[in-house]
Structure 1
Amino acid sequence: MKSIVRRVALPIGAAAVLGCSGFAFMAVNGVPESRAGAGESAISGYNVSNIHYTYVDSIGNPHLNYIKSVTFTLDHQASRASAQIHVNQATPWFAYTDCGSPDGGYTWTCSNTNSGAAALAYFPGGAPASDMLNVSAAQ
Structure 2
Amino acid sequence: MFTFRTPKFAALLVIVLVVMLATYAFAASNTVPATYAGEGASVTSGYTVTDVVYTLNATNPSNIDSVTFTLNAPATTVKARLVTTGSYYACSNTSGTTWNCSTTSPQVTVAAANELRIIASN
Task: State the identity %.
Answer: 35
Q: What is the aligned residue count?
A: 86
Amino acid at match of 1:85: L
For normalisation by structure 1, the TM-score amounts to 0.53
Asked if 1 retains the 8 angstrom alpha-carbon contact of 2:66 and 2:104, the reply is no
Aligned to 1:120: 107
Instruction: Determine helix, strand or coil for the equivalent of 2:94.
Output: coil
Structure 2 counterpart of 1:96, from 89, 92, 95: 89
Stretches of structure 1 lacking an aligned partner (at least 5 in a row)? 1-35, 59-63
Amino acid at match of 1:133: L
Asked if 2 retains the 8 angstrom alpha-carbon contact of 1:69 and 1:96, the reply is no
Amino acid at match of 1:100: S
Stretches of structure 2 lacking an aligned partner (at least 5 in a row)? 1-36
Aligned to 1:68: 65
Task: Check if 1:137 corresponds to 2:113.
Answer: no
Amino acid at match of 1:55: L
Structure 1 counterpart of 2:99, from 108, 120, 139: 108
For normalisation by structure 2, the TM-score amounts to 0.59
Q: CA RMSD in A?
A: 2.6
Amino acid at match of 2:41: E
Structure 1 counterpart of 2:78, from 65, 76, 81: 81
